Amino acid sequence: MRRVIKVGTSLLRGSAGRPTAVVIADLAASLSRQRRQGETIALVTSGAVGLGCEALGLGQRPSEVVALQAAAAVGQGRLMALYQDAFAVRGLAVAQVLLTRGDLASRRRYQNACRTLEQLLTWGVVPVVNENDTLATDELRFGDNDTLSALVAVAIGADELVLLTDVDSLYSGDPRSDAEARPIEEVASLAELDSLQSVASGGGQWGTGGMTTKLTAARIATSSGIRVRLADGRDPAVLDALLAGERVGTLFQPSPTPLPDRKGWLAHALLPKGSLQLDAGAERALTQQGASLLAVGVQAVVGDFERREAVRLLASDGRELGRGLASLSSTELRELMGSSGVEVMHRDQLVLTGR
């Protein structure tokens, strides 16, 4: 079994009265037991900004990017020291891996990241992955480590992604305001998962995620054939039960027809620089015939992009149909829009993402 475990800021900030060092020690104890049983583990962690704020005596999470970057610079070393100490006493080495969205949006850098992670796992090292908050700009930020954890799971070909949070499961509504909200034990399909987006609630004070981002992460992972478990990380016994195969929290079943590696990268890791609005004929050609996109089917070009940069493909009503790499720049395409026989995007360079 190859697993990615994601632990959020709300847990590391001492949820349920447990200090950060204790939370990490308990986490290391559980994961080291799994490693001794032959499982492969990668960890995606939040917490650098929170620990930095704590060290600096800040009363709330900064809103300005430069302040977040500075707080992350203070907190990242403290965070890794806690992980190194906790795993070292259990005989395991850890490696710090800091990523920005740009590292995964470039195919070459994405493959380099995959190879590095794979080498660490081969050596028996536990990768501790976090967003590079110290350097990431708004444009290159994931914005939440739920998305990052799903992309890491795809990158290493994980069997399962575990999202540890401060709620015990996904609910049919917001349990804080809806007395009729009930826990959801299993989400069986992508269609069912998409229908639950409306019940997701926002993030808390210290984290940047929330149920919305967890559902997004679940969609990324399950569409690539990875099972997802959402569980309460405040009680170490819950994680132990989950890792032992018990049914706790919410289970998201993987798609029976997962996206291949490159299509998954096109769908989830790219940073779209613009959009192309298509007519009904182009929509049918893409969605029903598996065709490439031709300029004759493009009705509008939004944004500025160069050749081989990512764009979104939109239906005439604004629905997203897919994403891919454009063969022409936005300038070239505006001149050739509506022309017959001009290929804008080869079918191998696009993936359908319509829900």
Environment class of residue 301 by beta-carbon count within 10 Å: exposed (0-12), middle (13-18) or buried (19+)? buried
Pairing of strands 274-278, 298-302: antiparallel
Does the annotation place 211 within a ligand binding site? yes
Place of tokens 């289970």: 251
Where would I find the beta strands (DSSP E) of the chain? 2-7, 40-45, 94-99, 126-131, 160-165, 170-171, 183-184, 186-187, 227-232, 250-252, 274-278, 293-294, 298-302, 310-314, 320-325, 343-345, 350-352
Does the annotation place 348 within a ligand binding site? no
Does the annotation place 214 within a ligand binding site? yes
Does the annotation place 145 within a ligand binding site? yes
Does the annotation place 45 within a ligand binding site? no
Does the annotation place 213 within a ligand binding site? yes
Environment class of residue 31 by beta-carbon count within 10 Å: exposed (0-12), middle (13-18) or buried (19+)? buried
d(CA 29, CA 7): 14
- Per DSSP, the residues of 102-164 read HHHHSHHHHHHHHHHHHHHHHTT-EEEEEE-TTT--GGG--SSHHHHHHHHHHHTT-SEEEEE
Does the annotation place 166 within a ligand binding site? yes
Asked if 15 and 236 count as a contact pair (C-beta separation under 8 A), the reply is: no
Environment class of residue 137 by beta-carbon count within 10 Å: exposed (0-12), middle (13-18) or buried (19+)? exposed
Does the annotation place 165 within a ligand binding site? yes
d(CA 118, CA 2): 11
In angstroms, what CA-CA distances link 27 with 105, 150, 230, 288, 346? 30, 19, 16, 47, 45
Q: Which long-range contacts (CB under 8 A, 24 or more apart) does 115-120 make?
A: 117/42, 117/152, 117/155, 117/156, 118/156, 120/95
Does the annotation place 52 within a ligand binding site? no
Asked if 70 and 49 count as a contact pair (C-beta separation under 8 A), the reply is: no
Residue 38: count other Cβ atoms within 10 Å of its Cβ: 7
Does the annotation place 273 within a ligand binding site? no
Does the annotation place 263 within a ligand binding site? no
Does the annotation place 208 within a ligand binding site? yes
Does the annotation place 6 within a ligand binding site? yes
User: Residues marked as binding?
Assistant: 6, 46, 133, 145, 165-166, 208-214
User: Residues marked as binding for substrate?
Assistant: 46, 133, 145
User: Residues marked as binding for ATP?
Assistant: 6, 165-166, 208-214
